[in-house]
Structure 1
């Protein structure tokens, strides 16, 4: 009998919003520049494809983290870190999890190809890159998150999602058409940077409670490579890059001024950074700072989306 509650936990539904927000941002920018081309149907399909890609990534990650032993050793699991915990609890069978993860990737590819046929080949390039990053994140022989490359992959993923959502709404079938939308693409890039750094910072701080288990099995992400103390400085730099890129974009007039409301979140980011510097090696005390970082990313992304909507 299928345990629905267990599978809901396996899909880590709290993180589905993480990947939906960049899709909203890319679609909002596309609508601002090219409102006539906007398609609600293809927007919904792009959201579903993104959710499937993200679900496949985290489910496959759960499977391989279980196989490596890090989720079994982890005694500091939080709602934000340590995987779902379902495989160590024997609540789900490993091969079922692997099969569902692969199925999510398969459905994502099918929907993506349908969108490509209708909305242009640019989506194929971006979608291919996204699927490659998702598969390579944990799957051997790539195992990016075991080699200190997972953080870079996550940072790159947000602009990719924004660009992908844009091209879903703005079909481009030739090089001249691509050149003609350059101003909007530049806006996508600049607008995605603050969101990308905040997203990367959130997913990065989630690694800290797993430090000991990850270190023991050789999951050499950047927190393990740097050690929790030095890794805390990189977290601070990610936050600084987020707000710095936002301020520069505001001053250059590339991002609408309502996005300046994001700067009101700086105290929350400072709170999380101070807590991380103080408790970086104390996994049980990190939960408030994980939650604060997650909330900052979500709120900042919503504000960015609304900044473009309010400009219409």
Structure 2
């Protein structure tokens, strides 16, 4: 019996981590900055890079996902979501972890994140603590009361994803090198914008569940759905991929040719979002898997291009 409980918890932790979404968001942004810092400083960044990756993984997966799962289960949206890739990690639904255990995981992740922040504070100073504080703030207010920014159109994705991605990009390069460089910073901005397009796809299968939640989870796709109908549920995804395209072209002209590859990724994202049947969960899932792979490959291409 004890072994079964341990196995359940291990499987629950793995499921809660949601490796692919984490790699798509924080993993890809950290990878971009590590690759550029390596090109500048070499093997000296190896130890802090591993610690940085551990901190980003912990905050994005175990801290943010635990809080999200607890609150979205409480509001009811994750209980009835039809999403395959969305609708939380589903650890409560599958009986792998309960809300008490999620709270303990969130607290452990919070303490571990503070430890990582303290380590980098001793190396780089108080700016590290400011970035850490914002990351914890973003993880908390995304679904937790009183703000619940994910339950409001535009606010959740801009403050808790795009802005936190930009802060993560800036802080990652800073803790590794002690400086700032426009190149990895702008690459992080473009990557965060691509992830916005991906996140809007992520919300679409949950629209009916989100609108039945208490309080109502009015994501941006749900807002477009209510305002203009099902045909426009994918419009936020298209809009953000278009914005990523504009930023990529600007980066190509003013910063570095590698941004042309990011523009190509944005174009494929636009085509995928525009061709998605918003009321077909399987079609939304296929398109989201496609853009997931695109965004991860984008960061890897950047890494290879910079380090070679």
Partner residue, 2:269: 269
Alignment of 1:1-312 (within 5 A): 1-2=5-6, 3=8, 4-18=10-24, 19-32=26-39, 34-35=40-41, 38-55=44-61, 56-74=63-81, 76-78=82-84, 80-148=85-153, 149-152=155-158, 153-171=160-178, 181=179, 184=181, 186-217=182-213, 218-227=216-225, 228-252=230-254, 254-255=255-256, 257-265=257-265, 268-276=268-276, 279-310=277-308
**How much does 1:263 deviate?**
4.1
Give, in whole Å, the separation in 1 of the partners of 2:270 and 2:202.
16
Pick closer, same or farther for the CA change 1:106–1:267 going to 2, 3 Å. same
Cα-to-partner distance string for 1:255-293 (whole Å, 9 max, x where unaligned)? 2x24433444356324412322xx113334311111111
**Greater displacement, 160-169 / 284-293:** 284-293
Give the structure-1-normalised TM-score: 0.87
**How much does 1:87 deviate?**
0.9
Secondary structure at the counterpart of residue 212 of structure 2? helix
Secondary structure at the counterpart of residue 207 of structure 1? helix
Give, in whole Å, the separation in 1 of the partners of 2:172 and 2:306.
14
Secondary structure at the counterpart of residue 135 of structure 1? helix
CA contact (8 A) 1:223 1:231 kept: yes
Secondary structure at the counterpart of residue 86 of structure 1? coil
Secondary structure at the counterpart of residue 206 of structure 1? helix
RMSD: 2.0
Cα-to-partner distance string for 1:92-149 (whole Å, 9 max, x where unaligned)? 2211112112211221111111111122222221111111111111111121111222
Give, in whole Å, the separation in 1 of the partners of 2:83 and 2:269.
22
Partner residue, 1:176: none
Secondary structure at the counterpart of residue 29 of structure 2? helix
Give the structure-2-normalised TM-score: 0.88
CA contact (8 A) 1:262 1:303 kept: no
CA contact (8 A) 1:198 1:296 kept: no
Structure 1: state its 5+ residue gaps: 172-180
Give, in whole Å, the separation in 2 of the partners of 1:155 and 1:272.
21
CA contact (8 A) 1:24 1:165 kept: no
For these two proteins, the number of residue pairs brought into alignment is: 292
Give, in whole Å, the separation in 2 of the partners of 1:37 and 1:307.
18
Structure 2: state its 5+ residue gaps: none
**How much does 1:202 deviate?**
1.0
Pick closer, same or farther for the CA change 1:284–1:36 going to 2, 3 Å. closer
Give, in whole Å, the separation in 1 of the partners of 2:231 and 2:110.
36
